Amino acid sequence: MCELLGMSANIPTDICFSFSGLMQRGGKTGPHKDGWGVAFYEGRGCRTFHDPFPSSNSEIAKFIKHYPINSRNVICHIRKANRGKVCLENTHPFVRELWGRNWCFAHNGQLKGIKKKLSLEHFEPVGTTDSEHAFCWIMDNIYKKFPKPPQKDQSLAVFIAKLCQTLAEFGVFNILMCDSKYLYAHCSTKLVWITRKAPFGKAKLVDDDMTVDFHQQTTPKDVFTIIATAPLTENEDWHRAQKGDFLVFKDGQRKIFK
Amino acid sequence: MCELLGMSANIPTDICFSFSGLMQRGGKTGPHKDGWGVAFYEGRGCRTFHDPFPSSNSEIAKFIKHYPINSRNVICHIRKANRGKVCLENTHPFVRELWGRNWCFAHNGQLKGIKKKLSLEHFEPVGTTDSEHAFCWIMDNIYKKFPKPPQKDQSLAVFIAKLCQTLAEFGVFNILMCDSKYLYAHCSTKLVWITRKAPFGKAKLVDDDMTVDFHQQTTPKDVFTIIATAPLTENEDWHRAQKGDFLVFKDGQRKIFK
């Protein structure tokens, strides 16, 4: 299995603190030693770093831990390979372009028989994971249903939620996905999230001897949400998503379409 | 204008030496201060680094200069903005997926009126440059002509050459493009290349006080070609491509389809 980490923020925010915690699970406090990757959105652009080596001693991971990249949407993944060999092209998050937007996807879980049962048309996997196949199938379906972006964002969110339901029938489907505007999350077995806003307090990492005082690092207007497969801090209350939950985040907060 | 650098190699090779020279032109020995980017192919995977800041004092560029990434195909670009503001999404090289392969593109030049005259269908630019528009138009046309990869690689190369001819009619079109297998280059005004193989000698950078003895760093079987918009070393003879030349490289050498 793998671990996921995502962030949605109302202003460009660095994720160094949470990233530091997650990276420890890549071969040190966790068994996820088969590579890692992260995607940072900056405006319409998307910057990704991938590494097929364990994150706990990756040179690139060390660099990112100390080089704050400010972003409003981040998706990060550390991998414990189940399907597909350990190599760069099998490393999440996967990226595709649709409607002139960068779409990004990371998955925790396994999807049995998906390659045989769900065929692809426009988007094809570069690697051999069931995860990338699932992402391409989502993109294919969005493109077929909406050759151009739908007028209402709600229509898109509702459609993606349905696609996730279908995919979850193949096995475990905890995911994070971003279309540059919204951060989408589906919970199959495990997904937690926490929204931080003023008054900010201190947080202590579960996986590393590290504490941060968000009060020192933020302004009262800042709002950001961290989503992960397991709580990253030990002194905060994380919301726990339920099986089948589909969550949408924007500008640092959960967005509920009515 | 911008500067291009590409490498094709028969075994995974690091490009630290040439990269060091090019990066100096990003705000130090050259005026290309509006960002830079590089794509390294590793197997079927493609690792990209982009930065909207000048390469000569970019933290990410410094990191890559000292962290050898071995690759058989590399495309690198430093930008002097003409069209499109300075931001991450306007930074080359641009990447798209087709046939389950990563395609990568970087451009030197300007293409006047291309956005109005060449419409797009499946592939759309994320940023606002004429370069990314040209790349999307190439990808659109390849996808329409060959929904699946053609049996003969030659058919693809000949088709891409024709697309480049059309684009060159809009202005200056010096490019490097890679489809994971071949490195393609089109020369409109300036493009030089050099193939290094045994017996290897010493090379001295034009832009930095740096010399490398390839004899020490290679094996007799290594073959690699460097392609650039201007020679990077001062003591070697670079081939100079002519206006309209379309070149294909594979496994470190020029490939001429018969």
pLDDT band at B195 (very low <50, low <70, confident <90, very high): very high
Contact A192, A206 (CB under 8 A): no
Higher-pLDDT residue of A55 and B211 is B211
Q: Which residues contact B174 (CB under 8 A, 6 or more apart)?
A: B4, B107, B108, B109, B186, B187, B188, B189, B190, B191, B229
Q: Mean pLDDT throughout B189-210? A: 90
CATH of domain B3-108+173-254: 3.60.20.10
pLDDT at B5: 93
Q: Which of A12-26, A233-247, B48-62 has the highest mean pLDDT?
A: A233-247
Q: What angle do CA A21, A23, A25 make, to 5 degrees?
A: 85
Q: Which residues contact A161 (CB under 8 A, 6 or more apart)?
A: A186, A246
> DSSP assignment of B139-193, as one string?
HHHHHHH-SS--SSHHHHHHHHHHHHHHHHTTB--EEEEE-SS-EEEE-SS--EE
Contact B7, B227 (CB under 8 A): yes
The DSSP letter of residue B63 is H
pLDDT at A5: 94
pLDDT at B209: 79
Cβ of A124 within 8 Å of Cβ of B44? The answer is no
pLDDT band at A116 (very low <50, low <70, confident <90, very high): very high
pLDDT-above-90 percentage for chain B = 67
pLDDT at A20: 81
Give the class (CATH, top level) of A3-108+174-254.
Answer: alpha beta
- Res. B76: pLDDT tops 90: yes
Count of beta carbons in the 10 Å neighbourhood of residue B119: 9
pLDDT tens-place string over residues A140-176: 999 999 999 999 999 999 999 999 999 999 999 999 9
Q: Cβ of B67 under 8 Å from any chain A Cβ?
A: yes
CB contact residues (below 8 A), chain A span 121-150, against chain B: 122-127
Q: Mean pLDDT throughout A91-104? A: 97
Q: What angle do CA A108, A44, A41 make, to 5 degrees?
A: 40
Closest chain B residue by Cα to residue A136: B100
Residues on chain A touching B98 (C-beta within 8 angstroms): 124
Residues on chain B touching A42 (C-beta within 8 angstroms): 87-88
What is residue A69's three-state secondary structure?
coil
Question: From the centroid of its chain, how far is CA B55?
Answer: 16
pLDDT tens-place string over residues B80-121: 877 678 899 999 999 999 999 999 999 999 999 999 999 999
> DSSP assignment of A9-49, as one string?
EEEEE--HHHHHHHHHTBTTSSB--S-EEEEEEETTEEEEE
Cβ of A99 within 8 Å of Cβ of B43? The answer is no
pLDDT-above-90 percentage for chain A = 67
Beta bridge partners of B23: none
pLDDT at A197: 93
CB pairs under 8 A between A and B: 80
pLDDT tens-place string over residues B32-65: 778 899 999 998 999 999 988 887 778 888 888 8
Cβ of A126 within 8 Å of Cβ of B100? The answer is yes
Q: What angle do CA A33, A38, A41 make, to 5 degrees?
A: 175
pLDDT at B121: 95
pLDDT at B55: 77
- Res. B157: pLDDT tops 80: yes
Element (H, E) at A64: helix A59-66
Contact A111, A167 (CB under 8 A): yes
Q: Look up the pTM and report it.
A: 0.94
Closest chain B residue by Cα to residue A59: B67
Residues written for chain A: 258
Cβ of A127 within 8 Å of Cβ of B42? The answer is no
pLDDT tens-place string over residues B202-256: 888 888 878 888 888 889 999 999 999 999 998 899 999 999 999 999 999 999 9
Count of beta carbons in the 10 Å neighbourhood of residue A73: 27
Element (H, E) at B23: helix B16-24
Tokens describing residue B184: 């393609």
**Residue A48 phi, psi dihedral angles, 5° rounding:** -120, 150
Q: Mean pLDDT throughout A41-46? A: 92
The DSSP letter of residue B56 is G
Contact A185, A246 (CB under 8 A): yes
pLDDT at B58: 83
**Chain A contact probe: residue of B66, B89, B144 with most A CBs at under 10 A:** B89
Pairing of strands B36-42, B71-78: antiparallel
Contact A100, B126 (CB under 8 A): yes
Lowest mean pLDDT among A62-66, B138-142, B240-244: A62-66
**Residue type (1 letter), A187:** C
Higher-pLDDT residue of B174 and A18 is B174
Question: From the centroid of its chain, how far is CA B196?
Answer: 18
Whether B2 is catalytic: yes
Residues on chain A touching B91 (C-beta within 8 angstroms): 45
**Three-class HEC string of A105-123:** EEEECCECCHHHHCCCCCC
Higher-pLDDT residue of A218 and A115 is A115
Distance CA A241, CA A131 (A): 21
Tokens describing residue A200: 């900010």
pLDDT at A101: 97
Closest chain A residue by Cα to residue B132: A100
Q: Mean pLDDT throughout A249-258? A: 92
**Three-class HEC string of B95-131:** EEEECCEEEEEEEECCECCHHHHCCCCCCCCCCCCHH
Contact B103, B176 (CB under 8 A): no
**Chain B contact probe: residue of A89, A102, A148 with most B CBs at under 10 A:** A89
**Chain A contact probe: residue of B51, B91, B92, B126 with most A CBs at under 10 A:** B126
Cβ of A89 within 8 Å of Cβ of B124? The answer is no
- Res. A27: pLDDT tops 70: no
Q: Which of B169, B6, B189, B171 is nearest to B93 (CA)?
A: B6
What's the burial of B87, exposed, middle or buried (CB within 10 Å: 0-12/13-18/19+)?
middle
Q: Which of A198, A121, A102 is nearest to B132 (CA)?
A: A102
pLDDT-above-70 percentage for chain A = 98
pLDDT at A175: 98
**Mean pLDDT, all residues of chain B:** 92
Q: Mean pLDDT throughout B157-174? A: 98
Distances (CA, A) of A38 to A81, A192, B13, B246: 17, 19, 25, 36
